[in-house]
Structure 1
Amino acid sequence: MTTEEHVVLVDRDGHALGTAPKSSVHGRETPLHLAFSSYVFDQEGRVLLTRRADHKITWPGVWTNSCCGHPLPGEALDRAVVRRLSYELGLSVEGADLMLPSFSYRAAMANGIVEHELCPVYRVMVDSPVAPNPEEVGETRWMPWKEFEEGTRNGLLAISPWCKEQVPLLTDLGSDPLTWQPASPAALPAAARP
């Protein structure tokens, strides 16, 4: 018997308010909850893009950053990134670098379903092949960061709303993603600190 996955609900200041079943937090009245986004890079500085599986509740079939997800209650965010990269993309990674500790967004789909997340952003380096899980990922593609950043900025690439907001903030860290300086875990919102 499997138990339903829960997410951590948070207030606007990033303090935990409790938990809720994951299935209950993506609707028209989505409460603010803890999540993460990650950007996977190879040694050439190419970013791994994923197309969300067509049966996903939020933004099905949409291209986005490498991997997004929710930490389990009590799970450190960087460990959640490692866990989800293994599950969604078959990647075995040692760790994840915190880049944007306090990113948050709210976005509504045309059908009224809302994403509302306190969503720190991580960078992950890999040198192994990707094995996408079709339950989560419809397709993958590697792209040079500069090309991806320019396409996003110029509106030439159709990507998820959170990714569209994150890319300019990541670009502010420098033109080469391999040289971005990680943020201190102390900068994470309280609910996200181990």
Structure 2
Amino acid sequence: MDGLRVTNNELIVLLDPTGRAIGTAPKAPSHHSETPLHLAFSCYLTDPAGRILITQRAHGKASFPSVWTNSCCGHPAPGEGLRDAIRRRVRTELGLGVEEPTLVLPRFRYRATAADGVVENELCPVVRATATGETRLDPEEVEAAEWRDWDECVALVDHPTASPWFRSQMEQLVPLGAPAEWPAAAPALLPPAITW
């Protein structure tokens, strides 16, 4: 699937409150005012200088358009491992490769409502990885991407255009220190629905 666009046929993995898979559903029609709990991920890409790639979601995105957030978010396909899902989405959205993925927040969960009433409701493991290559943005997914120092990332939390999941993740990440200092979490702590 690497590099291929998955659109109307993309499936999300539905979860029970313990993080066990209970089925699948089409991605687009599943996001509404009563979006069911489902599996996702968030990735923070770093460069050799320790900066983080911060992205702005495309203006045409169905949920939370135009917000600034972490490097890449996505939904693992049924049966797809977390590292494979991250590599696939980072390649598709940003044109980048991924090295040294490290699990940081294995059980991060959030629920957020957009201005139009669409809800995100995700169990969303957070991973840090090193980016390789040159950015090549998919304009249907990403409006802009900027490498920012950690202090700038922390300051983004207070900006009105920051995504709600970025704010919630940063509440847990900032106490861990700069990205290079984030400790690795054990893959055994992941939700039962996903493998490392």
TMscore range, shorter length: over 0.9
How much does 1:47 deviate? Answer: 0.7
For residues 136-158 of structure 1, the C-alpha deviation after alignment (integer angstroms, 9 at most, x for no partner) is 10011111012211342xx1463
Q: Which residue does the alignment assign to 1:142?
A: 147
Moved over 3 A (4+): none
One-letter amino acid matched to 2:74: G
One-letter amino acid matched to 1:92: G
Quick one: distance in 2 between partners of 1:95 and 1:59? 29
Contact 2:63 2:118 in 1 (8 A): yes
SS at match of 2:88: helix
RMSD: 1.5
Structure 2: 5+ residue stretches without partners: 1-6
> Does residue 171 of structure 2 align to residue 164 of structure 1?
no
Q: Which residue does the alignment assign to 1:178?
A: 180
Q: Which residue does the alignment assign to 1:68?
A: 73
Quick one: distance in 2 between partners of 1:173 and 1:108? 27
Q: Which residue does the alignment assign to 2:108?
A: 103
TM-score calculated relative to the size of structure 1:
0.93
Contact 2:8 2:28 in 1 (8 A): no
Q: 1:111 to 1:19 in 2, by over 3 A?
A: same
**Aligned match of 2:47 in 29, 42, 46?**
42
For residues 58-92 of structure 1, the C-alpha deviation after alignment (integer angstroms, 9 at most, x for no partner) is 11111111000000000011110111000000001
Quick one: distance in 2 between partners of 1:193 and 1:61? 31
Q: Which residue does the alignment assign to 1:119?
A: 124
Q: 1:95 to 1:19 in 2, by over 3 A?
A: farther
How much does 1:181 deviate? Answer: 1.7
Quick one: distance in 2 between partners of 1:142 and 1:3? 31
Q: 1:145 to 1:180 in 2, by over 3 A?
A: same
Q: 1:137 to 1:151 in 2, by over 3 A?
A: closer
Q: How many positions carry a matched residue from both structures?
A: 190
**Aligned match of 1:85 in 84, 87, 90?**
90
Contact 1:13 1:189 in 2 (8 A): yes
Q: 1:178 to 1:148 in 2, by over 3 A?
A: same
> Does residue 57 of structure 2 align to residue 24 of structure 1?
no
Contact 2:156 2:162 in 1 (8 A): no
Identity fraction in percent: 49
